[in-house]
Structures are given as structure tokens and as C-alpha cells.
Amino acid sequence: MSKPLALIIEDDPEIGNILSISLQNEFEIELLNDGNEALVRLAQVVPALIMLDLYLPAVSGMDIFARIRSDPRLKTTKVIVCSADAIHADALRSQADLVLLKPISPSQVRELACRMIGLS
């Protein structure tokens, strides 16, 4: 059985790597590091999970989040917002499936992501 797809949309290479390593056993991982790249990929795939930073080059995470929520193809996709900006992250708390404030623990990421999409 194939693993569910997780898109990690994060421009910080170190954080992207930590998130990728945290999820690699349970998910097929794609790491995207700018907003335009993320929008192009989201037009092509329907991931099970998106880990979304709010501050990205080209297109902001807030704009990407709005596009995700307005796209009927992505209605079942779980979105975890990961940000160091508590004010902007809090603004999405009622719309995102989960909001995590950086820094975050890799084991916490793995456990919460798996729980969200029903993996044990």
C-alpha cells in the first residue's frame, strides 16, 4: 500500500528538513520552498496533508491557505499551519485543521499528523 502524500511548504531549509524527517516513515514527502512552486503543485495533486509556513517567497502562506480552502478538490486535505508568528497563526486557528507555533518537536509533528489523517 502506498503512503499518503504530505506537502511541506516551508522556505527555511533546516525546518523543512526536520519536518520531512519527522514524517518520512508514514508519508510520501514533497518539500516545496516558495509560494509559486506550491500553487503549481497544488494544481496537480491532492495531498492528504499540507504543512504550511505563513512567510514564503513569491506568494504568502496566507494566500496559499485561502486557495486551498476555496478549492473543492482539496476539501479533505488536512492543513497544519506552522509559524513563528503567533498573531497570524491565531488568525487561521478556526480555519486550519491545526496550528503549531515554531519551534516544534519532530515527534509532536509526526504524532499529530498521523492522528489527523487516521494513521496509527
> pLDDT tens digits, residue range 67-85?
999 999 999 999 999 988 8
Q: Calculate mean pLDDT across residues 44-63.
A: 96
| More confident call, 39 vs 92 | 39
Q: What pLDDT sits at residue 93?
A: 86
Q: Which domains does the chain have, with CATH numbers?
A: 5-117 (3.40.50.2300)
Whole-model pTM: value is 0.92
For residues 37 and 47, what is the distance between their CA atoms, to the nearest angstrom?
A: 15
Q: What pLDDT sits at residue 62?
A: 93
Q: How high does pLDDT run on average in the chain?
A: 93
Q: How confident is the model at residue 1 (pLDDT cuts 50, 70, 90)?
A: low
| Strand order through the sheet with 5-9 | 28-32, 5-9, 49-53, 78-83, 98-101
